[in-house]
Structure 1
Amino acid sequence: MKIIKISATESTNDYLKVLSREKDLEDGTILVAHDQTKGRGQRQNSWVSKAGESLTFSVLKRFDGFPVSQKSALTFAVSIGMKIALDELQISSVEIKWPNDIMADGKKVAGILIENSLSGRNIQSSIIGIGLNVNEEEFKALPQATSMYLNTGRRYEINRVLEIVAQEVLHQLSLIKPSGNSELKQHYEHSLFRKHYISVFETETGKKFNGSIRGVTDQGELLVETEHESIQHFTFKEIKLHY
């Protein structure tokens, strides 16, 4: 596991993407920044981090003949890796909020952004960005956010957290198979936030409805049982979970 450390960058994903074009980086190379100033999340959201208190890093994963049709396995593997690592660090009630937010006691402690480079119908490489709140003491404008410190009352050594999280994420990525990933999917489904609980969802048109999460499809679409007892599946852009 090769780790490249830099003092600051706007986005670790963008920095690693450029670096991987300029140099022949090995599979599993990690770029970690002390300060990330313009981190990105899902749905064009920004990821706010605090220098020295957050862990912001990106992982380069190379593939040989990995089909685009199996790309959901990346989300499954990285999310599971994050959960296992945080469980090891004794963070309480760690769950995965579909598709790839990591929750602790019902609040967001980490986010994941995966960007793929394609060659025909295959994924050639992926840049996996991870932002983890480690030692923050407060989130004034983000009531649904938390940190490892707020969860346990303990302070953490950032480099040690990086080592544990990166090793587990890389291990889970090594389990991905081009032919299918049912075991990863089952583990992911078992860890889903608010699974089997009645929740409020909002469609892309703004319509809200009640339903309960039942799992995900092989393609990573969310399976929701509606009030009419029918199970519908939704892509990431089609639905939001309000809780």
Structure 2
Amino acid sequence: MKIIKLNAIDSTNSFLKDLAKNSTLENFTVVATDNQTNGRGQQETTWQSKPFKNLTFSVFIRFKNLAIQHKKYLNFAISLAVFEVLSDEKLPKLFIKWPNDILSANKKICGILIENTFIGDRIKNTIVGIGLNVNQIDFSNAIKSVTSLKIETNKDYNLDFLLKKIISKIEEKVQLLNSEKFDDLEQGYLKFLFKKNTTTMFKDSNGNLFMGIISGISKDGKLQVTLEDDLIKEFGIKEISFA
């Protein structure tokens, strides 16, 4: 792996995307920064991180033959890679919240942003942005339900060591993806999916509340929820949230 370290940058995903446009990158090139000033998350949200306390980085991954129809397995692979590294640290109540947040003790500890480039019906490459709360213990009052490794374990972590461990695990999971071990990836993801098979209150995009049970992920990556009449309905990322 090639790691490019920057003192400060607005967004590692944006920087790496520009780099990929203007040069030929080695597979699994990483851009990491001690201070990300305008990190991006899902649904145009921002990722806030205290300088020198956390991991904020992006990874460039090139594919030879990954079909667009299999892109949900890419999400499974990346989510599982981060999850398994954190699981080694014995974090409490660790889950993957659809599509790819990592929770510990019902609080967000990691956010993932996946941005793909397509050629025809194939994924040419992807840039994976990861923000992981590591040694930060104080968060803005405006940011609710977040935690960090240090809060949960009362330990300080070496950021460089943790970064390399996550990248190695991503390489391992991408190898499963390239080998089309799709069932293994899906089973692993669903095993740790937050609120799966549990009756839960949801809110739709119109603000309506309803009860349902997460039953799986559709072929195109949507969340499948079984409703009270046993009807299974599928929801996109902007169409549903936990109430």
CA distance in 1, matches of 2:212, 2:62: 38
Aligned to 2:69: 69
In structure 2, do the counterparts of structure 1 residues 122 and 234 end up closer, same or farther at CA, with 3 Å as the change threshold? same
> Is the 8 Å Cα contact of residues 69 and 219 (structure 2) preserved in structure 1?
no
Aligned to 2:149: 148
Aligned to 1:86: 86
CA distance in 2, matches of 1:178, 1:152: 35
Shift, 1:85, TM fit: 0.4
Aligned residues: 242
Q: Tell me the secondary structure at the aligned position of residue 8 of structure 2.
A: strand
**Segment drifting more, 125-134 vs 199-208:** 199-208
Deviations 1:157-198 (CA, angstroms, capped at 9, x unpaired): 111111111111221112114867121111101110111222
Shift, 1:232, TM fit: 1.6
Gaps of 5+ in 2: none
> Is the 8 Å Cα contact of residues 55 and 162 (structure 1) preserved in structure 2?
yes
> Is the 8 Å Cα contact of residues 6 and 33 (structure 1) preserved in structure 2?
yes
Aligned to 1:112: 112
1:55 maps to a residue whose letter is L
CA distance in 2, matches of 1:177, 1:145: 33
1:104 maps to a residue whose letter is S
Aligned to 1:55: 55
Aligned to 2:137: 137
1:223 maps to a residue whose letter is Q
Shift, 1:228, TM fit: 2.1
CA distance in 2, matches of 1:233, 1:182: 20
> Is the 8 Å Cα contact of residues 58 and 129 (structure 2) preserved in structure 1?
yes
Matched, 1:169 2:170: yes
CA distance in 2, matches of 1:57, 1:35: 10
**Segment drifting more, 20-29 vs 120-129:** 20-29
> Is the 8 Å Cα contact of residues 212 and 228 (structure 2) preserved in structure 1?
yes
CA RMSD of aligned residues (A): 1.4
CA distance in 1, matches of 2:194, 2:221: 15
Q: Tell me the secondary structure at the aligned position of residue 232 of structure 1.
A: strand
Deviations 1:113-156 (CA, angstroms, capped at 9, x unpaired): 00011111111110000000001112222221000111111111
Percent of counterpart pairs with the same letter? 38
Deviations 1:26-79 (CA, angstroms, capped at 9, x unpaired): 111111011100000011111111111110000000011211111111110000
Q: How does 1:1-243 map to 2 (within 5 A)?
A: 1-139=1-139, 140-177=141-178, 181-242=182-243
> Is the 8 Å Cα contact of residues 58 and 130 (structure 2) preserved in structure 1?
yes
Q: Tell me the secondary structure at the aligned position of residue 227 of structure 1.
A: coil
CA distance in 2, matches of 1:178, 1:2: 23
2:199 maps to a residue whose letter is I
Q: Tell me the secondary structure at the aligned position of residue 43 of structure 1.
A: helix
CA distance in 2, matches of 1:84, 1:179: 20
Q: Tell me the secondary structure at the aligned position of residue 187 of structure 1.
A: helix
TM normalised by structure 1 equals 0.95
Shift, 1:108, TM fit: 0.2
**Segment drifting more, 50-59 vs 88-97:** 88-97
> Is the 8 Å Cα contact of residues 201 and 209 (structure 1) preserved in structure 2?
yes
Q: Tell me the secondary structure at the aligned position of residue 36 of structure 1.
A: coil
